[in-house]
Structure 1
Amino acid sequence: MLQQPVRVLKIKTMETQTNLSEKISFSKEVKNYHPEILTDGALTFLETLQNRFNQRRLVLLKNREAQQKLFDLETTPSFPENTKEIRNSEWTAAPIPKDLQDRRVEITGPVDRKMVINALNSGAKTFMADFEDSNAPSWSNCLEGQQNLKDAVDRTISFYNPQKDKSYQLNEEVATLLVRPRGLHLEEKHLMINGQPMSASLFDFALYLFHNNEKLKENGSGAYYYLPKLEHFTEAIWWNDVIDFSEEYLGLEYGSTKVTVLVETITASFQLDEIIYALREHIVGLNCGRWDYIFSYIKKLRNHKGFIVPNRDQVTMTSPFMDAYSKLVIQRCHKRNILAIGGMAAQIPIKDDPERNQMAIDKVKADKEREVKNGHDGTWVAHPGLVQLAMDIFNEHMPNANQMEVKRDDLNITEKDLLEIPKGTITEEGIRKNINVGIHYIAGWLAGNGAVALYNLMEDAATAEISRTQVWHWLLNEVKLDDGRTFDKTLFESLFESELDVIKKQVGDTTYNSTNYQNAIEIFHQLITNKEFEEFLTTRAYNYL
């Protein structure tokens, strides 16, 4: 075990921040220091990780910028020539722990207290507690979320809703817990180490591991994570080094920390074997993060001539490039003896409209049947009401804990297959929907809600990213709509103003004129009309939290 540095923490107030030591400080906005989570030992661990790994993280982000410049010259993603041996040689990842071998239905959601209880009680095999796309990363959301997860691991978590006079507590049998930290591009601005904002990835990862590793082991489980938005296998190497160091620092058994990587960037799908290899002592699966994948596909290839993606509702898992990517995930995972988890069913049960509810259920059924028949070992749902539906489908077609025996050696997925542009149309309705959903979501996010129910779908940041990226891209290219009109600045402003009237009627004058909605409108409009594309809307919106 590495020797932990000994420090005397001194609290003193300054005009702009509160210092805990010469190296650690909080921003002046912080009113609650959450001493039960940010203990001396936890802060020392955070400082150690930041000092050791943050500079490498910043280099990786610079590498992303350099790669984008190559894409802007109309190069395309490809299978790396210098790692061909990894793709072609015979090797497998480390064995999967027993409580992660059957993941046929996973539920996901933010880390608020009631959600954690309901998700763990939902009947799903696993629950991904999310600090990322379905969490608005305010200081209180992130720190209270850590406390909620600690209480859940300790099995002391409870919640009382006075409006409903209803109490919530854990059942005897609960889902296995996984945690998704924020992506590499995000920072925790409220905590400074040596004058630099803390890496949000390290912050979320480290606090959960520090506080729960012993109890998780006592419970017969372990610290299990989902890793988001990896764009290159070197980022997987970074995460592997973070995990290895953390296990040694905390005195954990080597390899006991396990991860599932979300394949939600177009570049990652060309490096699946390399990502698995980099994390081979820790990785237990890959997941098809479909909404972020579409966002990444548009974002990375946005400056290619003739590259236009139709209305987002027309881009589904049956679109050739999406079908190819999901099947390639299955093939590479099963070759390396890890699980291939399918994508999200974002539908919410529609209680007051049986006909529309049945249509939604039929969509979910078709999606999940396609996944399990293709060879996926599990799937995602966003609402507890869909757990049993998905469970029944996987139970029918997957009698064993998983189907790693389905190797899909019949497939030969090419670079061309992964890049094929989906066919379809761009319509006024599609533009309006993107504007409407984007503004509603950003307003909810600014209010502290990362998972926002819109039009009977549970939306997270990935959906808003697709919405604003498509409108920006269509406007940049002045695309032709299906009715022959050109989508130029004049038409955008006309539709934008018209859709604001719709939003005002939907939410009412008071809500529409609130700070959150007015900021959301401003943010969305700026993102669309700026000539330079902004990589992530959440980095801009974070300034408003």
Structure 2
Amino acid sequence: MSAVATAHCSHPSVPVPVPVPVRPTPGITVAPRLAGQSALLPAGALALLVSLHRSVEPERQARLAARRRRQAFFDQGGVPDFRTDTAAIRTGDWTVAPIPAALQDRRVEITGPTDPKMVINALNSGARVFMADLEDSTSPTWRNVLAGQQTLIDAVRGDLAYTAPAVDGRPGKAYALRPSAEQAVLIVRPRGWHLDEKHVQIDGQPIAGGLFDAAVFAFHNARALMRKERGPYLYLPKLESMEEAALWETALSHIEGMLGLPQGQIKVTVLIETLPAVFEMDEILHALRGRIVGLNCGRWDYIFSYLKTFRRHADKVLPERGQVTMTQPFLKAYSELLIQTCHRRGAHAMGGMAAQIPINHDPAANEQALARVRADKLREVRAGHDGTWVAHPALIPVARAIFDEHMPGPNQHAVLRRDVRVARDDLVAPCPGTITRAGFENNVEVCVRYLAAWLDGNGCVPIHNLMEDAATAEISRSQLWQWLHAGDRQLDDGTAIDAGLLDSVLRTLPAKLGDTTALPGGGRIADAIGLLDTLTRADELAEFLTVPAYRQLD
């Protein structure tokens, strides 16, 4: 999950369709053509994309097929486990490559989408790192994809600026970057292996969205970032196996070769946000050992992955989302095993996201929310994490104060956590809890409101004082499906969880929301209700919410 808090996360200024002459590159078609597109995708960039796609696409499809086979095994009652064929990697004595100076101290990181105002605020925020999110916080309309790349180019170049619209005749506020030395270190998150970029077709196939994101960013920015000794750096999402990590190694080495960069110049952090990946953390580090600098506890996507992995397991149904906290045994085991694994290999062990946003109208509620953030960050630093994520700039001093007090050095690699003993069953055991009517209704509302915003081009949405993105919407959506399909479930008041309950909540939601004109994507509420209804009633749980929704973009 990732989001710098904002009430509306679309790009304030995006390209508009105009005829743009582009010299054809054999094998590739790009449509539609937008203003500025030819500068972002010149012949050299197109040639890189063609070469990269042809090198990687066959293995990407093989890896996606392997995911489907593995899920079929889980659906038949199978459970993930540590691999026997890679035991030598887990027991071997090896470490990752040295970590660059710019990434030695990552005690507080902030994340968010790539519109200019958000990028400026995040880089100026006082966080050590800003993760510019081209995945879960971005609705990948073609305009957003191109505008995000242009924003990153401007940011790396140092001339990114933004002026808010005028209000009541008064000039809008102007935003500009601080000097480079005062900025957060930029790390870019490309899309995961499962997502296509349908607007770029190579040999009749869509290119992988993540390859497009990483290659275009490196093409324009790698040299400048090298000169600054700041990258390029990437956050890699949603890996499920060491083979998928090795595929990123192949792709990034290919990009480096095509651009004339030193091998290993592109450094990466991997999000451990799928249940299968937690059983292969040593192997993932090993596959990327020449360029990886750490792993991150992507807690929200990890919970979603647990739900998806065990979608057919009636004995592993989780309670409502608010009760699934990092203190639950299966999540505690996940985070502590990650710390132990990373520190043994000389890599950072990054903590997870605090999704709270300020509650300015209610000081008491705001203080309660901040208390939860403090407790969460204290848990992380005491466990041995080397840094943490926040969703809003106001949380940076809160998290930083806790890490400064308990982590005086740049990181905690010396905390080896030899006391941690995690077995397979520790990682797959569900937590107890209930499903309340309020929890069921909240899942429906979050899913509908997020989907509506996403279909309208906004990738992150503040809902009930939390920043929601694709990861949290996925939790809500997959829980609804599992509660309806994996055995007979009831709310804590005895009401049956069935199609009738879903119908009732969906039918009354528009009235509950009231005037939706001020909501992000308010005009797409009906579309979102229809899509959620279809996905929840389907006999099979869709692998990702954003895949069918992507067909409705542009």
Q: TM-score range with shorter-chain normalisation?
A: over 0.9
Find out whether 1:495 has 2:502 as its counterpart: no
Q: 1:488 offset after TM fit, Å?
A: 1.5
Q: Check whether the contact 2:266–2:291 (CA below 8 A) recurs between aligned residues.
A: yes
Q: Note the alpha carbon deviations across 1:240-262, whole angstroms, 9 max, x for none.
A: 11111221221111211100000
Q: Note the alpha carbon deviations across 1:115-172, whole angstroms, 9 max, x for none.
A: 1110000000000000000011111111111111111111111111132521111112
Q: Which letter does structure 1 place at the counterpart of 2:147?
A: E
Match of 1:9 in 2: none
Find out whether 1:170 has 2:174 as its counterpart: no
Counterpart of 2:76 (choices 73, 76, 97) is: 73
| Larger CA deviation: 489-498 vs 144-153 | 489-498
- Alpha-carbon distance between aligned partners in 1 of 2:35 and 2:199, rounded to the nearest angstrom: 11
- Alpha-carbon distance between aligned partners in 2 of 1:213 and 1:525, rounded to the nearest angstrom: 44
Find out whether 1:315 has 2:315 as its counterpart: no
Q: Secondary structure at the match of 1:467?
A: helix
- Alpha-carbon distance between aligned partners in 1 of 2:311 and 2:334, rounded to the nearest angstrom: 19
Q: Check whether the contact 1:302–1:473 (CA below 8 A) recurs between aligned residues.
A: yes
| Larger CA deviation: 250-259 vs 269-278 | 250-259
Match of 1:153 in 2: 156
Match of 2:5 in 1: none
Counterpart of 2:361 (choices 352, 358, 370) is: 352
- Alpha-carbon distance between aligned partners in 2 of 1:254 and 1:194, rounded to the nearest angstrom: 28
- Alpha-carbon distance between aligned partners in 2 of 1:127 and 1:54, rounded to the nearest angstrom: 30
Match of 1:186 in 2: 195
Q: Note the alpha carbon deviations across 1:417-452, whole angstroms, 9 max, x for none.
A: 101111000111111000011100111111211111
Q: Check whether the contact 1:148–1:157 (CA below 8 A) recurs between aligned residues.
A: yes
Q: 1:22 offset after TM fit, Å?
A: 4.1
| Structure 1: gaps (5+ residues) | 1-16
- Alpha-carbon distance between aligned partners in 2 of 1:39 and 1:517, rounded to the nearest angstrom: 38
| Larger CA deviation: 138-147 vs 90-99 | 138-147
**Percentage of pairs with the same residue:** 49
Distance 1:216 1:512, change over 3 A: closer
Match of 1:85 in 2: 88
Counterpart of 1:445 (choices 449, 454, 461) is: 454
Match of 2:393 in 1: 384
Q: Note the alpha carbon deviations across 1:57-99, whole angstroms, 9 max, x for none.
A: 1110000000011111111000000100100111000000000
Counterpart of 1:300 (choices 303, 309, 320) is: 309
- Alpha-carbon distance between aligned partners in 2 of 1:272 and 1:149, rounded to the nearest angstrom: 30
Q: In the comparison of the two structures, how many residue pairs are matched?
A: 526
Distance 1:530 1:18, change over 3 A: farther
Match of 1:110 in 2: 113
Match of 2:542 in 1: 534
Q: What TM-score do you get using the length of structure 1 for normalisation?
A: 0.94
Find out whether 1:326 has 2:328 as its counterpart: no
Query: How do 1:363-442 and structure 2 match up within 5 A?
Result: 363-442=372-451
| Larger CA deviation: 515-524 vs 42-51 | 515-524
- Alpha-carbon distance between aligned partners in 1 of 2:475 and 2:79, rounded to the nearest angstrom: 20
Q: Note the alpha carbon deviations across 1:302-336, whole angstroms, 9 max, x for none.
A: 11232211001000001111110000110000000
- Alpha-carbon distance between aligned partners in 1 of 2:26 and 2:230, rounded to the nearest angstrom: 37
Q: Check whether the contact 1:19–1:25 (CA below 8 A) recurs between aligned residues.
A: no
Q: Which letter does structure 2 place at the counterpart of 1:519?
A: D
Q: What TM-score do you get using the length of structure 2 for normalisation?
A: 0.93
- Alpha-carbon distance between aligned partners in 2 of 1:116 and 1:55, rounded to the nearest angstrom: 35
Q: Check whether the contact 1:30–1:190 (CA below 8 A) recurs between aligned residues.
A: no
Q: 1:498 offset after TM fit, Å?
A: 2.3
Q: 1:102 offset after TM fit, Å?
A: 0.2
Q: Secondary structure at the match of 2:86?
A: helix
| Larger CA deviation: 282-291 vs 158-167 | 158-167
Match of 2:17 in 1: none
Q: 1:495 offset after TM fit, Å?
A: 2.4
Match of 1:518 in 2: 526
Q: Check whether the contact 1:114–1:168 (CA below 8 A) recurs between aligned residues.
A: yes
Query: How do 1:238-257 and structure 2 match up within 5 A?
Result: 238-257=247-266
Q: Secondary structure at the match of 2:316?
A: coil
- Alpha-carbon distance between aligned partners in 2 of 1:405 and 1:22, rounded to the nearest angstrom: 52
Match of 1:273 in 2: 282
Q: Check whether the contact 1:331–1:407 (CA below 8 A) recurs between aligned residues.
A: yes
Q: Check whether the contact 2:123–2:183 (CA below 8 A) recurs between aligned residues.
A: yes
RMSD: 1.6
Q: Which letter does structure 1 place at the counterpart of 2:123?
A: L
Q: Which letter does structure 2 place at the counterpart of 1:92?
A: T
Q: Which letter does structure 2 place at the counterpart of 1:353?
A: D
Q: Which letter does structure 2 place at the counterpart of 1:427?
A: T
Match of 2:10 in 1: none
Q: Note the alpha carbon deviations across 1:353-406, whole angstroms, 9 max, x for none.
A: 100100010000000000000000000001111111111110000000000000
Distance 1:237 1:461, change over 3 A: same
Counterpart of 1:98 (choices 98, 101, 105) is: 101
- Alpha-carbon distance between aligned partners in 1 of 2:356 and 2:26, rounded to the nearest angstrom: 49
Find out whether 1:228 has 2:232 as its counterpart: no
Distance 1:511 1:287, change over 3 A: closer
Q: Check whether the contact 2:516–2:522 (CA below 8 A) recurs between aligned residues.
A: no
- Alpha-carbon distance between aligned partners in 2 of 1:441 and 1:129, rounded to the nearest angstrom: 20
Q: Check whether the contact 2:196–2:206 (CA below 8 A) recurs between aligned residues.
A: yes
- Alpha-carbon distance between aligned partners in 1 of 2:351 and 2:212, rounded to the nearest angstrom: 28
- Alpha-carbon distance between aligned partners in 2 of 1:169 and 1:67, rounded to the nearest angstrom: 48
Q: 1:506 offset after TM fit, Å?
A: 5.2
Q: 1:219 offset after TM fit, Å?
A: 1.2
- Alpha-carbon distance between aligned partners in 2 of 1:253 and 1:534, rounded to the nearest angstrom: 40
Query: How do 1:4-15 and structure 2 match up within 5 A?
Result: none
- Alpha-carbon distance between aligned partners in 1 of 2:103 and 2:519, rounded to the nearest angstrom: 44
Match of 1:13 in 2: none
Identify the structure with bigger relative contact order (alpha carbons < 8 Å, sequence gap 6+): 2
Q: 1:33 offset after TM fit, Å?
A: 5.8
Q: Check whether the contact 2:453–2:522 (CA below 8 A) recurs between aligned residues.
A: no
Q: Check whether the contact 2:516–2:523 (CA below 8 A) recurs between aligned residues.
A: no
Q: Secondary structure at the match of 1:82?
A: coil
- Alpha-carbon distance between aligned partners in 1 of 2:521 and 2:185, rounded to the nearest angstrom: 42
Q: Check whether the contact 2:127–2:184 (CA below 8 A) recurs between aligned residues.
A: yes
Match of 2:24 in 1: 20
Q: Secondary structure at the match of 1:284?
A: strand
- Alpha-carbon distance between aligned partners in 2 of 1:380 and 1:536, rounded to the nearest angstrom: 24
Q: 1:483 offset after TM fit, Å?
A: 1.4
Q: Which letter does structure 1 place at the counterpart of 2:153?
A: K
Counterpart of 2:48 (choices 32, 45, 48) is: 45
